[in-house]
Structure 1
Amino acid sequence: MNAVNDNSEALAQQAIGLMELTSLNADDTQERIIALCQRALTPVGDVAAVCVLPRFAGLARRTLDNLRARDVKVVAAVNFPGGSPMIASVESETQAAILAGADEIDLVYPFHALLGGNKHIGGEMIAACKAKCTRRASLTITLETGVLRDPQMIYGVCRVAIQEGAGFLKTSTGKQIISATPQASRILLEAIAETGAHVGLKASGNVRTLAEAQVYMEQASARFGDFWLEQGRLRLGATSLLDDLLLHLGVGS
């Protein structure tokens, strides 16, 4: 079967395996996170990961383990959502999340500092966070492309993130007016291609339908080939997307 094709059911099935179910709200509760983890195990297959705030990383990992879903990754979003320039705070959040059981760390790049002219803090923060991850957790860098906007600036951040050891580049937090766009993801893919690094892409924010997910899947496939359409290379950061995918598969959410 061709990895990207006109068969909406096959495409929806594939997209489920690329999803990161997300709950990153200030008022999140234990009950909400447990429900999120339960939802990650659909009747037609498990999603790739759940993304939560650091204080829920341990609960998410225990819940998934109890559900015999060890392969579903727990991603902890640090420096979320504002992208603070405080490196010590990021180090503390990262270490606590890893000790609690996070498989991946998702670091929000200090985008306001960059816009203010500080071109060094981002690289320093990524390096410090990567050092805390060591070999215990992979590292995603969320660029907040809708705020940075300038293609050259976005590309520059991508290069720094890759150089400092990022495992994924992510378009956005989903908390800004402009989130994931095909234009932004194209820049991220280009940076990955030009460096030749083993780095993946996460399209996050406003990916709500199969048609929207297909855009990013086709972009990745066109740039690198169908082999890229697996959870170690491409993720779709969303929650409402799952409803649409299950609808295409004839499964109630």
Structure 2
Amino acid sequence: MPRRNPGTDFRPDWFARIAVNTPAAERRAASLPARRSLKREWQAAWLLNAVRCIDLTTLSGDDTPDRVARLCAKARRPLEADHLAAMGIEGLTTGAVCVYPTMVAAAKAALGGTRIPVASVATGFPAGLMPLDLRLAEIRHALDQGADEIDIVISRAHVLQGDWSALYDELRAMRETCGPALMKAILATGELKTLTNVARASHVAMQAGADFIKTSTGKEPVNATLPVSLVMLRAIRDYRDRTGFAVGFKPAGGLRTARDALNWQVLMAEELGRDWLRPDLFRIGASSLLADIERQISHYVTGRYAALHRLAAG
């Protein structure tokens, strides 16, 4: 387990001169799928690793305790037991379950006896357009219900107006309210307009003490993309080089296929190294992704693809 990021004083000089070359970032990201060809047992191993890094998520208006219980059952046993036995794998679970604050208690009850953490979105998810005191109260409510991790959303207006000190103060207050619970800072990158804004917001979030920086809520028109992720990972690397602290990364929204899971892991390995391929530093926010990974694992074990209706849904 890496040392937890304590944050720093507000240091705008660390990011004020950043200007991202967008075409270069897009070219670099576009080259990733061809850089490593993962086949057969190597592909299966990388897909199993992706499973243990998934924050299995339900954030729908019609969520119920029963739906959350089904999701938690899937988190406890994300792949067919026969397939895991054939590969000699035991004890595989997802990295966490992510729900709304009102569903935290149901998730905790369903995950009793496991080490699977419950993550709760908070602070006016997804828009974040609530007074700060109410956003902090929502964090406290989620913690009172038993949440182990809090996925907060930032005020996009602070970024768009370049008010970096206000963004830092807001995030610092959230970090203090989270206490021992991990704080994942959702930047909602699809609404930040430029990659330069993404880089600067990433630095501010880490200076404020974020344990993870996360791309998206999953509710924006554009969610996780490889160019955005590349910029955020390089900010993480810069922060580690300055402070010695490792900050985690969570892409969310838009990752639906096993190929996506492989591409993002290749990006992590190439930009930050193998240490960032563990669930304490890498999470994937997803709901439908797991089904496609299951199909690929089924094909690896049996030589044929399973029909989607044969795969247990969360």
TM-score (norm 1): 0.92
Higher strand residue share: 1
Q: CA deviation at 1:27?
A: 2.0
2:185 touches 2:213 (CA, 8 Å); kept in 1?
yes
Q: CA deviation at 1:118?
A: 4.2
Instruction: Measure the CA separation in 2 of the matches of 1:9 and 1:117.
Output: 44
Q: What residue number does 1:244 align with?
A: 292
1:49 touches 1:72 (CA, 8 Å); kept in 2?
yes
- Out of 231, 248, 251, the position equivalent to 1:200 is 248
Give the secondary-structure state (helix, strand or coil) at the position aligned to 1:76.
Answer: strand
TM-score (norm 2): 0.75
Q: CA deviation at 1:120?
A: 3.6
Q: What residue number does 2:64 align with?
A: 29
Instruction: Measure the CA separation in 1 of the matches of 2:221 and 2:282.
Output: 23
Give the secondary-structure state (helix, strand or coil) at the position aligned to 1:50.
Answer: strand
Q: CA deviation at 1:149?
A: 2.8
1:217 correspondence with 2:265:
yes
Pick closer, same or farther for the CA change 1:117–1:221 going to 2, 3 Å: closer
1:90 correspondence with 2:97:
no
Q: What residue number does 2:106 align with?
A: 59
Q: Among the aligned pairs, what percent are the same residue?
A: 31
1:40 touches 1:47 (CA, 8 Å); kept in 2?
yes
Q: What residue number does 1:168 align with?
A: 212
Alignment gaps of 5+ in structure 2: 1-36, 85-91, 299-305
Amino acid aligned to 1:152: T
Q: What residue number does 1:15 align with?
A: 50
Instruction: Measure the CA separation in 1 of the matches of 2:161 and 2:127.
Output: 14
Instruction: Measure the CA separation in 2 of the matches of 1:118 and 1:62.
Output: 41
Give the greater-gyration-radius structure (CA): 2
RMSD, matched Cα: 1.8
Pick closer, same or farther for the CA change 1:224–1:119 going to 2, 3 Å: closer
Instruction: Measure the CA separation in 2 of the matches of 1:214 and 1:11.
Output: 7
Alignment gaps of 5+ in structure 1: none
Higher relative contact order (CA 8 A, sep 6+): 2
Instruction: Measure the CA separation in 2 of the matches of 1:53 and 1:36.
Output: 13
- Out of 138, 142, 159, the position equivalent to 1:114 is 159
Amino acid aligned to 2:268: A
